[in-house]
Amino acid sequence: MRLENRAPDALRPVRIQRQFTKYAAGSVLVTFGDTQVLCTATLEDRTPPWLAGKGSGWVTAEYAMLPGCSNERIGRNHYQKGRAMEISRLIGRSLRCAVDMAALGERQITVDCDVIQADGGTRTAAITGAFVALSDACAKLQADGAISRSPLLGECAAVSVGLVDGEALLDLCYEEDVRAEVDMNVVMRSDGNLIEVQGCAEGDAFPRKQLDAMLDLAEAGCGELFRLQREALAS
Amino acid sequence: MRLENRAPDALRPVRIQRQFTKYAAGSVLVTFGDTQVLCTATLEDRTPPWLAGKGSGWVTAEYAMLPGCSNERIGRNHYQKGRAMEISRLIGRSLRCAVDMAALGERQITVDCDVIQADGGTRTAAITGAFVALSDACAKLQADGAISRSPLLGECAAVSVGLVDGEALLDLCYEEDVRAEVDMNVVMRSDGNLIEVQGCAEGDAFPRKQLDAMLDLAEAGCGELFRLQREALAS
Amino acid sequence: MRLENRAPDALRPVRIQRQFTKYAAGSVLVTFGDTQVLCTATLEDRTPPWLAGKGSGWVTAEYAMLPGCSNERIGRNHYQKGRAMEISRLIGRSLRCAVDMAALGERQITVDCDVIQADGGTRTAAITGAFVALSDACAKLQADGAISRSPLLGECAAVSVGLVDGEALLDLCYEEDVRAEVDMNVVMRSDGNLIEVQGCAEGDAFPRKQLDAMLDLAEAGCGELFRLQREALAS
Amino acid sequence: MRLENRAPDALRPVRIQRQFTKYAAGSVLVTFGDTQVLCTATLEDRTPPWLAGKGSGWVTAEYAMLPGCSNERIGRNHYQKGRAMEISRLIGRSLRCAVDMAALGERQITVDCDVIQADGGTRTAAITGAFVALSDACAKLQADGAISRSPLLGECAAVSVGLVDGEALLDLCYEEDVRAEVDMNVVMRSDGNLIEVQGCAEGDAFPRKQLDAMLDLAEAGCGELFRLQREALAS
Amino acid sequence: MRLENRAPDALRPVRIQRQFTKYAAGSVLVTFGDTQVLCTATLEDRTPPWLAGKGSGWVTAEYAMLPGCSNERIGRNHYQKGRAMEISRLIGRSLRCAVDMAALGERQITVDCDVIQADGGTRTAAITGAFVALSDACAKLQADGAISRSPLLGECAAVSVGLVDGEALLDLCYEEDVRAEVDMNVVMRSDGNLIEVQGCAEGDAFPRKQLDAMLDLAEAGCGELFRLQREALAS
Amino acid sequence: MRLENRAPDALRPVRIQRQFTKYAAGSVLVTFGDTQVLCTATLEDRTPPWLAGKGSGWVTAEYAMLPGCSNERIGRNHYQKGRAMEISRLIGRSLRCAVDMAALGERQITVDCDVIQADGGTRTAAITGAFVALSDACAKLQADGAISRSPLLGECAAVSVGLVDGEALLDLCYEEDVRAEVDMNVVMRSDGNLIEVQGCAEGDAFPRKQLDAMLDLAEAGCGELFRLQREALAS
- Mean local confidence (pLDDT), F184-196: 98
Pairwise CA distance, residues C119 & C65, whole Å: 12
Does D157 fall in a domain? yes
- pLDDT given at position F192: 96
Mutate to test the interface with A, among C153, C208, C209, C222 (most CBs of A within 10 A): C208
Mutate to test the interface with D, among F18, F19, F21 (most CBs of D within 10 A): F21
Pairwise CA distance, residues C197 & E230, whole Å: 51
Q: Following DSSP, what letter does each residue of chain B receive, concatenated?
A: --GGG--TTPPPPEEEEE-SSSSSSEEEEEEETTEEEEEEEEEES---GGGTTSS--EEEEEEEE-TTSSSS---GGGGGSHHHHHHHHHHHHHHHTTB-HHHH-S-EEEEEEEEEE-SS-HHHHHHHHHHHHHHHHHHHHHHTTS-SS--B-S-EEEEEEEEETTEEEES--HHHHHH-SEEEEEEEETTS-EEEEEEEESSS-B-HHHHHHHHHHHHHHHHHHHHHHHHHHH-
To the nearest whole percent, how much of chain A has pLDDT over 70? Answer: 98
Mean pLDDT, chain B, integer: 95
Res E141 pLDDT > 60: yes
Nearest by CB: E69 against C23, C44, C64: C23
Radius of gyration of chain E (CA): 18
Give the tens place of pLDDT for each residue, F202-231. 878 999 999 999 999 999 999 999 999 999
Kindly give the interhelix angle for B82-96 and D82-96, rounded to the nearest 10 degrees.
Answer: 110
Residue F147, phi then psi, degrees to nearest 5: -130, 155
Res E80 pLDDT > 60: no
- Total residues belonging to chain B: 235
Residue C116, phi then psi, degrees to nearest 5: -90, -35
Contact between chains at C66 and E114 (C-beta distance less than 8 A): yes
Give the tens place of pLDDT for each residue, B21-47. 999 999 999 999 999 999 999 999 999
- pLDDT given at position A4: 85
Are B66 and A38 spatial neighbours (Cβ–Cβ below 8 Å)? yes
With cut-offs at 50, 70 and 90, classify the pLDDT of residue B8: very high
Residue scoring higher pLDDT (A78 or A183)? A183
Q: Calculate the dihedral angle through the C-alpha atoms of E201, E205, E210, E212, rounding to the nearest 10 degrees.
A: 70
CA atoms within 13 A on the CB side of D57: 28
Strands lying side by side in the sheet with E108-117: E14-18, E26-32, E35-44, E108-117, E58-65
Contact between chains at B67 and A62 (C-beta distance less than 8 A): yes
CA atoms within 13 A on the CB side of C131: 33
Res B83 pLDDT > 90: no
Does C119 fall in a domain? yes
Are E117 and E36 spatial neighbours (Cβ–Cβ below 8 Å)? yes
To the nearest whole percent, how much of chain F has pLDDT over 90? Answer: 91
- Mean local confidence (pLDDT), E82-103: 94
Residue B28's beta-bridge partner residues?
A: B18, B39
Does B150 fall in a domain? yes
Are A14 and A230 spatial neighbours (Cβ–Cβ below 8 Å)? no
What 3-state DSSP class applies to C112? strand
With cut-offs at 50, 70 and 90, classify the pLDDT of residue B81: confident
At residue D66's C-alpha, the angle toward residues D61 and D70, to 5°, is 125
Q: Following DSSP, what letter does each residue of E102-162 receive, concatenated?
A: HHH-S-EEEEEEEEEE-SS-HHHHHHHHHHHHHHHHHHHHHHTTS-SS--B-S-EEEEEEE
Contact between chains at F195 and E208 (C-beta distance less than 8 A): no
Contact between chains at B207 and D194 (C-beta distance less than 8 A): yes
Does E4 fall in a domain? no
Res D97 pLDDT > 70: yes
- E strand or H helix at C218: helix C208-234
Give the tens place of pLDDT for each residue, F114-141. 999 999 999 999 999 999 999 999 999 9
Residue numbers of the domain that contains F46: 14-234
Task: Please indicate, yes or no, whether the overall pTM of this predicted structure exceeds 0.95.
Answer: no
How many helices (H) and strands (E) chain A has is answered by: 5, 9
Res F77 pLDDT > 80: no
Does A135 fall in a domain? yes
Taking any CB pair shorter than 8 Å as contact, residues of chain E touching chain F are 81-83, 85-86, 88-89, 93, 97, 188-189, 191-201, 203-208, 211, 215, 219
The distance of A110 to chain B (nearest Cα, Å) reads: 9
- Total residues belonging to chain C: 235
Give the tens place of pLDDT for each residue, C143-179. 999 999 999 999 999 999 999 999 999 999 999 999 9
Radius of gyration of chain A (CA): 18
* Cβ neighbours for C26, distance < 8 A, ≥ 6 positions apart: C18, C39, C40, C41, C111, C132, C133, C134, C135, C136, C137, C140
- pLDDT given at position F4: 85
Give the tens place of pLDDT for each residue, F9-39. 999 999 999 999 999 999 999 999 999 999 9
- pLDDT given at position A82: 78
- pLDDT given at position D78: 57
Q: Following DSSP, what letter does each residue of C35-72 receive, concatenated?
A: EEEEEEEEEES---GGGTTSS--EEEEEEEE-TTSSSS
Contact between chains at F82 and E86 (C-beta distance less than 8 A): yes
Mutate to test the interface with B, among D63, D101, D194 (most CBs of B within 10 A): D194
Residue D154, phi then psi, degrees to nearest 5: 140, 170
Pairwise CA distance, residues B63 & B58, whole Å: 17
- pLDDT given at position C82: 78
With cut-offs at 50, 70 and 90, classify the pLDDT of residue E204: confident
Contact between chains at A88 and C82 (C-beta distance less than 8 A): yes
Res E175 pLDDT > 60: yes
- pLDDT given at position C80: 53
Contact between chains at E82 and F86 (C-beta distance less than 8 A): yes
CA D35 to chain centre: 12
Which chain F residues have a beta carbon less than 8 Å from that of D40?
66-69
User: Which CA distances in Å does D42 have to A3, D61, D140, E79, F115?
Assistant: 67, 10, 11, 34, 16
Res B9 pLDDT > 80: yes
Pairwise CA distance, residues E94 & E189, whole Å: 9
Neighbours of B, requiring at least 3 CB pairs below 8 Å, are: A, D
Give the tens place of pLDDT for each residue, E214-234. 999 999 999 999 999 999 999
Residue scoring higher pLDDT (D77 or D180)? D180
With cut-offs at 50, 70 and 90, classify the pLDDT of residue D154: very high
Mutate to test the interface with C, among A60, A79, A86, A161 (most CBs of C within 10 A): A86
Contact between chains at D85 and B82 (C-beta distance less than 8 A): yes
Are C169 and C123 spatial neighbours (Cβ–Cβ below 8 Å)? no
Q: Following DSSP, what letter does each residue of E42-63 receive, concatenated?
A: EEES---GGGTTSS--EEEEEE
With cut-offs at 50, 70 and 90, classify the pLDDT of residue E90: very high
Contact between chains at D112 and F36 (C-beta distance less than 8 A): no
Of B136-140, E69-73, E121-125, F60-64, minimum mean pLDDT range? E69-73
- pLDDT given at position A231: 98
- Mean local confidence (pLDDT), E152-170: 97
Indicate the number of domains in chain A.
1
Residue of A nearest to C198 (CA): A198
Pairing of β A156-164 and β A182-189: antiparallel
* Cβ neighbours for E22, distance < 8 A, ≥ 6 positions apart: C34, C117
Mean pLDDT, chain F, integer: 95
Res E203 pLDDT > 80: no
With cut-offs at 50, 70 and 90, classify the pLDDT of residue D47: very high
Q: How many CB atoms lie within 10 A of CB A174?
A: 18
Nearest by CB: F97 against E86, E198, E201: E201
With cut-offs at 50, 70 and 90, classify the pLDDT of residue B4: confident
- Mean local confidence (pLDDT), F37-51: 95
Are D18 and D232 spatial neighbours (Cβ–Cβ below 8 Å)? yes
Does F5 fall in a domain? no
User: Which CA distances in Å does A232 have to A20, B29, E38?
Assistant: 13, 24, 58
Which chain E residues have a beta carbon less than 8 Å from that of F203?
97
- pLDDT given at position C4: 85
Pairwise CA distance, residues A166 & E180, whole Å: 63
Pairing of β B108-117 and β B58-65: parallel
C and A touch per CB criterion (3+ pairs under 8 A)? yes
Nearest by CB: B193 against D88, D198, D206: D206
Does A9 fall in a domain? no
What 3-state DSSP class applies to F158? strand
CA B95 to chain centre: 8
- pLDDT given at position F83: 87
Contact between chains at F117 and D23 (C-beta distance less than 8 A): yes
With cut-offs at 50, 70 and 90, classify the pLDDT of residue E78: low
Res B79 pLDDT > 80: no
Give the tens place of pLDDT for each residue, E30-76. 999 999 999 999 999 999 999 999 999 999 999 999 999 998 898 87
Residue C197, phi then psi, degrees to nearest 5: -130, 120
* Cβ neighbours for E71, distance < 8 A, ≥ 6 positions apart: C23
Res A155 pLDDT > 70: yes
Nearest to A147 by CA among A111, A112, A113, A99: A99
- CATH number for position A105: 3.30.230.70
Does A8 fall in a domain? no
With cut-offs at 50, 70 and 90, classify the pLDDT of residue A208: very high
Contact between chains at F196 and E191 (C-beta distance less than 8 A): no
At residue C160, what is the residue type? S
Nearest to C137 by CA among C43, C233, C32: C43
First CA to last CA across chain D, in angstroms?
35
Contact between chains at F193 and E203 (C-beta distance less than 8 A): no
Give the tens place of pLDDT for each residue, A5-41. 999 999 999 999 999 999 999 999 999 999 999 999 9
Pairwise CA distance, residues B144 & C180, whole Å: 58
Give the tens place of pLDDT for each residue, C54-90. 999 999 999 999 999 998 898 876 545 778 889 999 9
